[in-house]
Amino acid sequence: MTPQKISIDSNNNLVVPNNPIIPFIEGDGIGPDVWKASKKVIDAAVEHCYGGERKIEWKEMLAGEKAFNETGEWLPAQTLETAREYLVSIKGPLTTPVGGGIRSLNVALRQELDLYVCLRPIHWFVGVPSPVHYPDRVDMVVFRENTEDIYAGIECNYDSPEAKKLLEFIRTELNAGDKVRFPETASFGIKPVSKEGTERLVRSAIKYAITHKRDSVTLVHKGNIMKFTEGGFKKWGYDLAKNEFGDQVYTWEQWEATKKADGENAANQELEKAHHDGKIIVKDVIADNFLQQILLAPQDYSVIATLNLNGDYISDALAAAVGGIGIAPGANINYTSGHAIFEATHGTAPRFAGTNTMNPSSLILSGVMMLEYMGWDDAAKCIKNGLQTSIMHKRVTVDFYKLMDDATQVSTTEFADEIIKHF
Ligand code: NAD
């Protein structure tokens, strides 16, 4: 078998050879420990499921402290080039360099490759300690927009000439000077939200719901306050659902229209029928209400599409409900170009670097997402089974051990071996 690159065909379908070359960044702090465990589990699952027929050829890329020590750069151009060339890669956590004008490495990677979806599946594994009564009711997949919103990084400090100019523009052109309560000391941030940016995100979410037989897509927004940005997201999202997916979806707007014309009973019957016919229900919820709903009625939500900042809060709040960042996986994806980086969602936990004690589940489950993205579903399933059984046997790393009764504490490496034992 000759190692080959993963590519994308003219219909935007990923073409995955049996011996794909996949670049990895091991990460800083606890990164090397959790990466070593993850690589072992992923390789073992591929071997277990496909014999010698399929095998991943790993290729190291440098980033973070390791890159800085070896090359003097935090994110060498070569790394970006490799991620671009090989399409699919995986990474451990990276230190964010403090000061010196260096952006977060993660944000840089996302922006350079235009990875517009931050994908976070939130699923509870039986037995994982949780602060909520019914973590089994949480089963959501969050599509967080990754390239726009207040995260675009367009800000100016209150005492800069740019802030003064902006204030002048607000006063004279927007006639809204009185809305800046303390003009002398107000800093400004700009929140770009576009139709194209919204459409590609919502399109990905609806396609995902159709492919994975999920019953609803919820647009989460603050359109009640920010009419043109968050409100635009809601409007463009509904328009896209209607225009591109037609009969495959039933929207809340249709429900409202029927209610207005024929009453609530008729609208509910229509909704019931749409659900029965297997249509995806596209609805929307205001973000603050949604943060209540994920505690009160998480079973009512499946696929979530939301803007960058809301998505940040929602992903972490949901992760906490199913066991926290030690187990929550993530990915950043451009479904059009095929580029995808799968990553642990926790940081480098530098205090625990080299201790071989931390939970590798976040990176292992990111590997599971990667295998699913590649269409290697059997290997993905096999890892999930192994992880579930290890947790049920209560042989877990320190973070879970402290919260479980009668558990046995195992190291990062031993936890990986447990998973493999229970494929
Ligand atoms: P952190 O996630 O590194 O650690 C916070 C705490 O969470 C740790 O002290 C530990 O108790 C717990 N924790 C984290 N990962 C765990 C694991 N796998 N198993 C068990 N417990 C775990 O957050 P931080 O301390 O705010 O950040 C440290 C560094 O990581 C910073 O430089 C930050 O910028 C960076 N960071 C990177 C990423 C990323 O690369 N995706 C994400 C977040 C933070």
Q: Please tell me what DSSP assigns to residue 4.
A: B
Q: Whose CA is nearest to atom 25 of ligand 1?
A: 349
Measured from CB, residues less than 6 Å from any atom of ligand 1 are: 34, 93-96, 106, 325-326, 343, 346-349, 351, 358-359, 362, 399
Residue 102: what pLDDT?
A: 61
pLDDT of 111: 86
What are the structure tokens assigned to 131, written together? 């602060």
Reported as a pLDDT band with limits 50, 70 and 90, residue 238 is: very high
pLDDT at 103: 67
pLDDT at 324: 82
Residue of 25, 26, 348, 364 with the most ligand 1 atoms within 8 Å of its CB, for mutation: 348
| pLDDT over 90 (residue 108) | no
Please name the residue whose Cα sits nearest to atom 42 of ligand 1.
347
pLDDT for 240-259, tens place per residue? 999 999 999 999 999 999 99
Distance from Cα 31 to the centre of ligand 1, integer Å: 10
Q: Provide mean pLDDT across the span 212-238.
A: 97
Q: Which atom of ligand 1 is nearest to the CA of 94?
A: 40
Cα 308 to averaged position of ligand 1 atoms, centre (Å)? 20
- Kindly tell me if the per-residue pLDDT of 276 is higher than 80: yes
Amino acid at 371: L
Mean pLDDT across the stretch 399-403? Answer: 91
**Which is the closest atom of ligand 1 to the Cα of 104?**
34
Which residue matches tokens 């009564």?
Answer: 133
Strand order in the sheet with 280-286: 57-60, 21-25, 88-91, 340-344, 329-333, 117-123, 139-145, 303-306, 216-221, 280-286, 249-251
Q: Which atom of ligand 1 approaches the CA of 363 most closely?
A: 18
Give yes or no for a contact between 128 and 323, defined as CB atoms under 8 angstroms apart. Answer: yes
pLDDT in tens, 42-99: 999 999 999 989 999 999 999 999 999 999 999 999 999 999 999 999 999 998 877 6
- Asked if the model's pLDDT at residue 19 lies above 80, the reply is yes
Model pLDDT for residues 120-179, shown as the tens digit of each residue: 999 999 999 999 999 999 999 999 999 999 888 889 999 999 999 999 999 999 999 899
Q: Please state, in angstroms and rounded to a whole number, the distance separating the CA atoms of residues 302 and 138.
A: 9
- pLDDT for 96 equals 80
Atom 1 of ligand 1, nearest CA residue: 347
**Taking phi first (over 0 means left), then psi (-120 to 50 degrees means alpha), and beta for anything else, what does residue 324 get?**
left
Q: What is the pLDDT of residues 193-205, one digit of tens each?
A: 999 999 999 999 9
What pLDDT sits at residue 100?
Answer: 54
Residue 9 token pair: 């065909």
For ligand 1, the distance from its centroid to the CA atom of residue 10, given in whole angstroms, is 39
